[in-house]
Chain A
Amino acid sequence: MDLIKPVTPEVIGRRSGSLRRRHLYSRAFRIACIGFTMSAVGVLGLLIYQVAAAGLPWLDLQFLTSFPSRFPERAGVKSALYGTLWVVSFTAMISLPVGVLAAIYLEEYAPASTMTRIIEINIANLAGVPSIVYGILGLAVFVRFLGLERSVIAGALTMSLLILPVIIISAKEAIRAVPSSIRLAAFAVGATQWQVVRSHVLPSAIPGILTGVILALSRAIGETAPLIMIGALTYVAFVPDGPMDEFTALPIQIFNWTSRPQAEFHELAAAGIIVLLAVLLTMNAVAVFIRYQGTRK
């Protein structure tokens, strides 16, 4: 690569000033980098403080067990919390098997063909498609074409397509981390391809796969735009009973409250954000725990 020139005094700029000035620059640069990093960390602290200060006073049992309301003091997130749990459960049931099987195909079965390369490049690019485009896809295919209406299952299918690339990429990495000597030993004693995958590759790869799946699902929980596109309602005063019911979700409820002008609703939004972050934190803790269990073996 011609970007890398031979290292000579001219390249590193030794001629550009006295030694003391060069060390001064160097120290200033280092401090600037540390300062920028600390400011990024500081922003996270500020954000959490801002949300906690506004939302904590509103967070009580009544908030968790009430439906949304025009009156801030009576409003709650019950329907949104249940809606989120419904959607994420169905998303997991759809995306987990499909994503893992796709990863198994790409790592263990796929020949080095043009088709395989197309699939690989396609997955890498799908991971970068804006989530709102998935929302439009869900609107056109699931809501309109398949006639699923604004149901939990339409939301879960849309979310599954959205997180499939993420799941496939992380599952592939987990499968690739299994040493090939394990596979070769199994093949050597006459195991078939599927026997190798089921009894040898999968058991070692499962902790890594699950970690990736949970992180992908926590992305699905936070996504708002695709659910708005497929028409998840902003005012729902009931809890879904089945996959064909209408629903709302936590981020949509937060969006709804934030977009109102009154300060009380902004504080409700902050309380909703605390609930949402608590759900995400729980899932991440589970993922970390699984990873820890996996590495201990």
Chain B
Amino acid sequence: MTSLVASKKRWGEKILRLVFFLCAFISVVTTICVIAILAYETLSFFQEVSVTEFLFGTEWRPLLEPKAYGILPLLAGTLLIVIGSSLVALPVGLACAVYLSEFASDRARSIVKPILEILAGIPTVVYGYFALTFVTPGLRLMLDDVQIFNAASAAIVVGIMVLPMVASLCDDALRSVPGSLREGAYSVGATSYEVTARIVVPAALSGIFAAFVLAVSRAIGETMAVTLAAGATPNLTLNPLESIQTMTAYIVQVSLGDTPSGGLAYKTLFAVASLLFTITLVMNLLANKVMRKFQEVYD
């Protein structure tokens, strides 16, 4: 009887397998590099600036005398963008998703979906241009006391930018709700509003929640539109009509200048980036976890 064991060792197969594994492992190396670099430079930043001053200081002035390293103004700027963009993207995105999954005909769906994909594919610098040349002049026409660079304008375009993502993820969540639930509700006489608001949306709530968290995380990391339209003045305010600076915009501002490598100003880049990375990572982990859980419910 012939043996079923391979007659010769296939070294080529083994080497290929190793090469493929290394390609997949690059992603892990990337993460390790990001964390190592951010941690190393941030630790050396904290040898010169105390953690308390960084996290609770109310003034951010790392490039001018007298220097101050309180992150709160940048966090407040980012928060303004997040709140404003959420006010635009979350309700409109969810409404788009409800329309697409509950009301739209196949034909309407096949037109609206690609348009949303185009909206999602437009580069962020184009949204920055749109904010400066259209949204800001519009706001100044409607309201008094709007500064040329202001948080509201940037928040609106960031909202438009993340809207397609919210719509697409919520659409997926709504469509994964089994049709039998809808039919059950219709059969006891519910109207389409009642079916959507009291049956379908609650059933898809965890998916919708994950979509919202991912949208907020995107808004926090958004850079170019915010740099162009929101200004470069670290400002501890919650007034959206004033010029502010976000964490990402600060990072761009420093790297556009001639900051020498190794100085304290250079290290602030990494301290701010660490905070940015930590916040978005926690939100993404949360969203992915919720999403995995919710996929299990109906599978």
Contact = CB atoms under 8 A, between A and B. Distances in A.
Interface of A: 1, 3-4, 7-9, 11-14, 22-23, 25-26, 28-30, 32-34, 36-37, 39-41, 43-44, 46-47, 50-51, 54, 97-99, 101-102, 104-106, 109-110, 118-119, 121-126, 128-133, 135-137, 139-141, 144, 161, 164-165, 168, 192-194, 215, 218-219, 221-225, 228-229, 231, 251, 254-255, 258-259, 266, 269-270, 273, 276-277, 280, 284
Contacts of A121: 288
Interface in B78-126: 91-92, 95-96, 98-100, 102-103, 112, 115-116, 118-119, 121-126
Given A40-B92, A98-B23, A258-B125, A130 B220 contact: yes
A222 B161 CA distance: 13
Given A102-B23, A106-B24, A126-B27, A133 B132 contact: no
Contacts of B238: none
B51 interface: no
A12 B198 contact: yes
Contacts of A219: 121
Interface string B274-294: 001100110111011000000
A103 to B, nearest CB: 8
- Main SS class of interface, A: helix
A193 B194 contact: no
- Please give me the 7 A-B residue pairs with the lowest Cβ-Cβ distance, nearest first: A130-B221, A222-B123, A105-B20, A36-B95, A26-B191, A12-B190, A128-B284
B34 interface: yes
Contacts of B121: 215, 218-219, 222, 280, 284
A276 to B, nearest CB: 7
A101 B103 contact: no
A276 B123 contact: yes
B141 interface: no
A54 to B, nearest CB: 7
Nearest to A259: B228
A37 B112 contact: yes
A140 B92 CA distance: 39
A44 B114 CA distance: 12
Given A14-B190, A44-B115, A130-B280, A37 B24 contact: no
